[in-house]
Amino acid sequence: MIKTFVIQILNILQKFYLGRLGAGSVLKPFGKIWNPKLIFIGKDCFIDSSYLFIVSKKFNSNASISIGNNCTFGKGAFISCANSIEIGDHVTLSRNVFIADNRYGDFPKETPVGKRDPLIYGKVKIESGVLLGINSVIIGDVTIGKNSIVGANCVVTKSIPPYSRISAKSI
């Protein structure tokens, strides 16, 4: 009962903390958010614990993460945004899914990787009805088409047409 009360209080506070938290949406505790005012979450979403959402304004002041209505994210969802990440309605992310529109830069080689400016690819768009399997990775200027399924452990670096099923390989 106390745990439920604490979660309700946290969700009330997050409505003022985030860019938008739609009615009926729940973010479980123990997640981290960088630049929360640039994250917009629709109605009736459930985001399990241990999430990490990062929005960097360093290269694009309009960078944002937009999550549609009725989405479900498993534990360990990691979203890294330097430009734009759009997630449609009724999207399911299984555990430990990673989504990014950027990666660490290659040069100069003398600079430690964590200190390099990111390479920004463009925008990630995940259309409505998509299922991303456990440990899947979406990176780059990519669109995942409507009602597609990305299987467990897939690495997606190219766009996928609507109604596709991708499994057991990198594309």
Enumerate domains of the chain plus CATH numbers. 2-166 (2.160.10.10)
Q: Are 75 and 100 in contact (CB under 8 A)?
A: no
In tens, the pLDDT along 21-46 reads 999 999 998 899 999 999 999 999 99
Mean pLDDT across the chain: 88
Q: Are strands 92-93 and 72-73 parallel, antiparallel or unpaired?
A: parallel
**Distance between CA atoms of 73 and 160, rounded to whole angstroms?**
20
Query: Do residues 144 and 159 lie in contact, with contact meaning Cβ atoms separated by under 8 Å?
Result: yes
pTM of the complete model? 0.87
pLDDT tens digits, 59-81: 888 999 999 999 999 999 999 99
Residue 106 pLDDT greater than 90, yes or no: no
